[in-house]
Amino acid sequence: MSGCWLVLSGRVEVRADDQSVTFRGEGEMFGEQGLLHVLAGKNGARTADVKAIGPVRVFFIDAAFQERLTDPEKTIWVLMLADVVNMKLAQATQGRSELRISVAEQEHLLRRFSDDDALGLVKVAAAGQTPPIQPRKAIVFFSDIANFSVWSTGKDSGEVASHLHRLCSLQIDLIRKAGGQIDKLMGDGVMAYWFIDTAERERVEPAAVIRCATTIAEEIGRYVTDNGLDIGIRIGLHAGDVAFGDFGAEQRIAVTVLGATVNTAARYEQAKSPDLGQVRVSPVLRELAVEAGISPETFRGPVKANVKHGVELDVYSF
């Protein structure tokens, strides 16, 4: 039966496609668009369901009511219904505007926790879907502030936090400026990556990564000198195949890259040898960087360096 309802008391929920659309309370009307369609000779089929929220009193006005109206009364009635529709359209327009602002704010917030490719997967996971794990090729970056734990022992926690914040901020800003994606912060270390799984990326990114690492080492060195800190930085870089995706749990999104390439990049950062510079590079990445235009003279080595579990690696550095 076609008709509209006026809420006399209480509150109702309007639902469409099993999702809440809006609520109507005392003095508000719902179903008026269907009546307008009937009056215009069109199909007035129901497009939404209404559910009472607790005790509700409504006044029902059916299509027969319209048929009994005189022409002047019908004009007044239609104008009144049109006013209600226009008011709801205005409310909907405002709601869409507020929704756009809310979406933009959420986007800004998410970008503070994830970058580019990872952000896309976070959105998919947040929508309740399970993004597939992707096989990709990447350059992986690990850094660590050398001697930071020793230096910070006995220091004021506020002073330690202030320096750590600046040391991490310098790296994050420069990595993002160079097109890298921050994976995570690990105490006084940073993990990041650059995907190189297209010909264009493989042609450009290796050189960008080497320049980025060089700048980070210089900026950190300048900061350490200016503040009289007895610390330094180690950076490990490697390139290869990774698995990229959400490796979290049902209630925890954790988008990251995993695989042997990631573990090996960490080993390059941890490599121990008196002949190594601050930035340690795998032979694979050195070759890619030289092909991308970095001078071979940039790198020293390779040298055999010990890493964890007694494993040795060939390491280039600068």
- Using one digit for the tens of pLDDT, what is the confidence trace for 121-142? 887 877 778 888 999 999 999 9
- Phi, psi (5° rounding) for residue 132? -70, 150
In this structure, is the dihedral angle defined by the CA atoms of residues 173, 178, 179 and 181, taken in order, positive or negative? Answer: negative
Report the relative pairing of strands 232-246 and 279-281 from DSSP bridges: parallel
Spatial contact of 206 and 292, defined as CB atoms under 8 Å apart: yes
pLDDT per residue over 281-296, tens digit each? 999 999 999 999 999 9
CA 75 to chain centre: 53
- Phi, psi (5° rounding) for residue 49? -110, 155
Q: Residue 294 in 3-state DSSP? A: coil
Would you state the structure tokens that stand for residue 248, as one six-digit string?
A: 């979290």
Q: pLDDT at residue 42 above 80?
A: no
Using 50, 70 and 90 to split pLDDT, how confident is the model at 72? confident
What is the pTM (predicted TM-score) of this model?
0.69
CA 86 to chain centre: 37
The Cα 100–Cα 201 span in angstroms is 33
Rg, the chain, Cα only: 31
Q: Identify the pLDDT of residue 81.
A: 72
Q: Residue 144 in 3-state DSSP? A: strand
